[in-house]
């Protein structure tokens, strides 16, 4: 066969240049056909297949837009301070400090140090979850028959492990994650109700308030009642912008948020960053 030799394998690989799949990164990002920002500002453009994952380090001020293309995506998100992975997304503090268990526009994604890793600047979906985390190998193996990353039903935590390893992180570095595009609400008796998606085209835009490492796993929500493993494509676009500044309505929205921004600004100033 053509790939049985090193030369044959090389020629086969080189022949693929220029070919594109529906789900893959666009390199360079500026080649994306319809950027949501000024020309030349796009830094990340990718479509993540259902059951797939991705990762990227983003500079402070970068805006990141996630879009559920078909209504069946579920973007599980983890954030780490780029040069300090021990400062990471804390879902409990994100909920507790803001007195709200529901994610949406003007919410802040907080670290365990009381600082802002990212803020939510726009949201057309409203169906998100800060309570359940992502799926696990054991759960997916019981439910779908397999949860390994190479299977047809990979678990979110297994995909996070792979993305983490590519950023010098291990399984012990992975905290509970947030989920976008598949909603969960809390009933009066304290039990959880899965509310699903609003349908195709829902999007959420985040703004990095520090340099952050982003890990994304696009897998079904753990409470999704469908017996089949259903996961649609996720569009990921990021572009250069500016971080939230004093006087911005988001900075001044609540006393708790203002304190978190001040904590962040003070820390960055002490490092000569802001």
- pLDDT tens sequence across 71-110: 999 999 999 999 999 999 999 999 999 999 999 999 999 9
The mean per-residue pLDDT over the stretch 58-82 comes to 98
Q: Phi, psi at residue 58, to the nearest 5°?
A: -115, 140
Q: Does the pLDDT of residue 197 top 90, yes or no?
A: yes
Percent of the chain with pLDDT over 90: 88
Whether omega for the bond prior to residue 28 falls within 30 degrees of 0, making it cis, is: yes
> What letter does residue 22 receive in the DSSP assignment?
S
Identify whether the C-beta of residue 87 lies closer than 8 Å to the C-beta of residue 182: no
Identify whether the C-beta of residue 9 lies closer than 8 Å to the C-beta of residue 15: no
pTM of the predicted protein model: 0.94
Residue spans of the domains in the chain: they are 21-270
Q: DSSP H helical segments within 173-254, as ranges? A: none
The mean per-residue pLDDT over the stretch 201-223 comes to 98
Q: DSSP H helical segments within the chain, as ranges? A: 6-15, 91-97, 137-144, 156-165, 255-270
């Amino acid at each position: 066969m053509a790939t049985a030799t090193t030369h044959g394998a090389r020629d086969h690989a080189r022949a693929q240049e220029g070919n594109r799949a529906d789900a893959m990164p666009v390199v360079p990002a500026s080649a994306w056909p319809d950027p949501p920002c000024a020309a030349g500002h796009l830094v990340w453009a990718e479509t993540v297949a259902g059951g797939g994952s991705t990762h990227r380090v983003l500079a402070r001020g970068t805006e990141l837009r996630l879009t559920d293309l078909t209504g069946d995506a579920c973007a599980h998100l983890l954030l780490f301070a780029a040069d300090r992975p021990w400062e990471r997304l804390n879902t409990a503090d994100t909920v507790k400090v803001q007195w709200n268990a529901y994610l949406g526009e003007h919410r802040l994604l907080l670290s365990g140090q009381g600082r802002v890793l990212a803020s939510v600047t726009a949201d057309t979906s409203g169906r998100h979850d800060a309570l359940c985390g992502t799926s696990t190998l054991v759960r997916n193996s019981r439910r779908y028959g397999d949860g390994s990353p190479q299977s047809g039903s990979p678990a979110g935590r297994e995909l996070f492990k792979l993305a983490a390893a590519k950023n010098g992180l291990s399984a012990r570095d992975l905290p509970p994650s947030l989920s976008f595009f598949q909603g969960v609400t809390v009933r009066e008796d304290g039990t959880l109700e899965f509310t699903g998606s609003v349908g195709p085209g829902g999007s959420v835009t985040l703004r990095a308030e520090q340099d952050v490492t982003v890990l994304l796993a696009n897998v079904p929500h753990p409470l999704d009642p469908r017996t089949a493993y259903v996961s649609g494509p996720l569009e990921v676009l990021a572009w250069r912008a500016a971080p939230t500044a004093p006087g911005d309505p988001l900075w001044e929205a609540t006393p708790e948020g203002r304190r978190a921004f001040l904590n962040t600004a003070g820390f960055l100033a002490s490092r000569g960053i802001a």
